[in-house]
């Protein structure tokens, strides 16, 4: 999938804070990157030794609620295991209930909190929940 296609999905999923094609291309080109992409969504991780961090995860609104996010996350975790990853981390906005539910179903647990991490236009910044999942 091209960086432009990834950027279009990211913009649809995060209209207030989309990543550019150039930024996505740079992350994906990193040898530590793990990218799993489908026509309506993608997940991008960075693997360092036996840990991985989900950098961004986007599903186009037209495909949300249809299991694509779960499939992408499961595939990313499987590929991470193959690379020797034992733990995956991420940050999620405290007000992103659908994402929090997805991660909870996938076995992620809260490992920390970053107060006021996500700015919101005209509103108080939202906390980021630091989540972790151990891989067997």
Residues near 11 by beta carbon (within 8 Å), at least 6 away in sequence: 18
Active-site positions read 91, 103
* Pairing outcome for strands 51-59 and 87-93: parallel
Pick the closest to residue 108 from 93, 127, 95, 92 (CA basis). Answer: 92
């Amino acid at each position: 999938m091209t960086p432009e296609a990834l950027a279009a999905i990211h913009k649809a999923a995060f209209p207030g804070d989309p990543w550019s094609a150039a930024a996505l291309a740079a992350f994906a080109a990193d040898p530590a990157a793990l990218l799993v992409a489908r026509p309506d969504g993608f997940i991008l991780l960075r693997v360092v030794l036996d840990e991985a961090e989900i950098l961004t995860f986007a599903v186009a609104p037209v495909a949300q609620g249809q299991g694509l996010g779960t499939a992408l996350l499961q595939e990313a975790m499987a590929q991470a295991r193959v690379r020797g990853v034992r733990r995956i981390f991420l940050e999620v906005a405290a007000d992103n209930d659908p994402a929090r539910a997805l991660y909870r179903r996938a076995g992620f647990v809260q490992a920390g909190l970053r107060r006021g991490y996500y700015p919101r236009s005209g509103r108080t910044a939202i906390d980021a929940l630091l989540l972790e999942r151990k891989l067997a």
